[in-house]
């Protein structure tokens, strides 16, 4: 009875080492700290330090983020290993994710076999069964050999040995780090800003322009996003119906986009563009304010600290041209196409 109780205490007190990786395979110390703190709250002793800190009696807990809402949980002790995949809602907070993953890891740890709970071997019974029977006295009747059966000796549980110079982390030491980044895109609302270079072209009046652009982007979950952009484009010297000209374009666009279901790095969207056009030439200068629909296709490549953005767009504007008292200086193309290359940074 005492041996059974001591074995249960040994299983509960076996330390574990936690390792958490994000979707890029890089270590996520802030999320690792949150999961460790949740395991301590569940009564699991957690040790810190390098992988060598986990000795023979230590179990390893490894959490790998597969995508924004899926995680792979793996626990191992010696040759025994258990693993499970856990999907969490996209709107779950980091606290809820850490506790859900800690509960799954604790369940897998409880499922690992332990030396204290393995069945006892019965070598002494087999040895006693194979022992020769004692010789019978000559004067008495010869009896058949009887193999004495002895009770197996009680096996005491191995002593609990703590890892040298690697103490378990106390709950007070596992306080969350303020303003620490979370691994992966786990937030429901993401706000970003970006800048790049935009080029536009149109067939009418031989338009070709380029210049800087800025934008702000708000993403609602992993699918929907709204993007507000502005640019300042200068045209090269072109030749229109009224002769040489130069134009300046100031586009402001609002686009709502959705991610491709099979390829999330590709997005498509539609919206509206407000465009101010100013033109000047040998015969005068003028300006116009136009509005029309806008369509975009966007490719996104997330890197460690920013996102590389490549965007193609097409706009439709109905223009009667920029006129002076006597001439038409410039006629904006009805359909204009453009492309933007830039980088984007997350604000929250």
Predicted confidence at residue 201, as pLDDT, reads 72
CB atoms closer than 10 angstroms to residue 146: 8
CA geometry: angle 277, 283, 286, nearest 5 deg:
25
Predicted confidence at residue 245, as pLDDT, reads 77
Region label for 49, one of left (φ > 0), alpha (ψ between -120 and 50) or beta (otherwise): left
Torsion angle, alpha carbons of 164, 165, 167, 172, to 10: 180
Predicted confidence at residue 95, as pLDDT, reads 85
Same domain? For 298 and 244 the reply is yes
Same domain? For 169 and 212 the reply is no
Torsion angle, alpha carbons of 10, 12, 17, 21, to 10: 150
In whole angstroms, give the CA distance from residue 284 to residue 204.
20
Same domain? For 98 and 13 the reply is yes
Q: Any idea what the CATH number is for the domain that residue 237 is in?
A: 2.40.160.20
3-class DSSP state of 51: helix
Same domain? For 229 and 103 the reply is no
Same domain? For 84 and 223 the reply is no
Number of H helices, E strands in the chain: 4, 17
Same domain? For 111 and 232 the reply is no
Q: Which domain holds residue 37?
A: 2-117+164-173
- The verdict on residue 102 lying in a domain is yes
Cα atoms in the 13 Å half-sphere on the side-chain side of 306:
9
Predicted confidence at residue 271, as pLDDT, reads 97
Same domain? For 169 and 244 the reply is no
CB atoms closer than 10 angstroms to residue 117: 12
Whether residue 125 contacts residue 152, with contact meaning beta carbons closer than 8 Å, is answered with: yes
Same domain? For 168 and 243 the reply is no
Averaged over successive runs of 10 residues, the pLDDT of the chain (348 residues) comes to 43 74 87 87 79 75 88 86 87 84 87 59 45 48 53 54 50 46 49 77 74 89 87 80 78 93 89 89 80 94 89 85 69 83 86
- The verdict on residue 96 lying in a domain is yes
Q: Any idea what the CATH number is for the domain that residue 27 is in?
A: 3.40.50
- The verdict on residue 97 lying in a domain is yes
Same domain? For 38 and 98 the reply is yes
Looking at the structure of the chain, the number of domains it has is 2
In whole angstroms, give the CA distance from residue 197 to residue 240.
25
Same domain? For 217 and 99 the reply is no
Predicted confidence at residue 176, as pLDDT, reads 47
Same domain? For 168 and 225 the reply is no
- The verdict on residue 22 lying in a domain is yes
pTM of the model: 0.46
């Amino acid at each position: 009875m005492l041996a059974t109780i001591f074995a249960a205490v040994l299983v509960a007190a076996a330390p574990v080492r936690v390792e958490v990786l994000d979707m890029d395979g890089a270590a996520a110390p802030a999320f690792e700290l949150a999961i460790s703190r949740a395991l301590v709250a569940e009564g699991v002793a957690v040790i810190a330090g390098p992988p060598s800190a986990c000795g023979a009696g230590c179990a390893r807990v490894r959490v790998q983020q597969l995508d924004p809402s899926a995680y792979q949980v793996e626990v191992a002790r010696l040759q025994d290993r258990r693993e499970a995949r856990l999907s969490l809602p996209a709107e779950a907070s980091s606290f809820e994710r850490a506790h859900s993953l800690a509960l799954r890891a604790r369940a897998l740890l409880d499922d690992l076999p332990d030396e204290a709970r393995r069945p006892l071997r019965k070598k002494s019974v087999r040895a006693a069964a194979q022992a020769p029977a004692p010789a019978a006295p000559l004067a008495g009747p010869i009896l058949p050999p009887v193999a004495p059966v002895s009770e197996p000796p009680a096996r005491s549980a191995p002593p609990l040995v703590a890892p040298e110079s690697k103490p378990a982390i106390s709950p007070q030491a596992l306080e969350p780090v303020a303003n620490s980044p979370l691994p992966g895109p786990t937030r429901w609302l993401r706000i970003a800003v970006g800048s790049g270079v935009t080029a536009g072209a149109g067939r009418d009046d031989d338009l070709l322009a380029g210049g800087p652009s800025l934008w702000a982007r708000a993403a609602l979950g992993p699918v929907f996003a709204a993007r507000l952009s502005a640019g300042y484009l200068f045209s090269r010297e072109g030749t229109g119906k009224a002769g040489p000209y130069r134009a300046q374009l100031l586009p402001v666009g609002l686009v709502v986009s959705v991610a491709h279901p099979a390829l999330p790095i590709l997005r498509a969207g539609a919206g509206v563009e407000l465009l101010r056009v100013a033109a000047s030439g040998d015969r005068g200068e003028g300006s116009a304010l136009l509005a029309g629909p806008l369509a975009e296709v966007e490719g996104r490549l997330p890197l460690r600290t920013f996102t590389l953005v490549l965007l193609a767009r097409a706009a439709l504007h109905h223009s009667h041209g920029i006129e002076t008292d006597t001439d038409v200086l410039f006629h904006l193309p009805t359909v204009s196409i453009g492309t933007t290359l830039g980088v984007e940074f997350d604000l929250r």
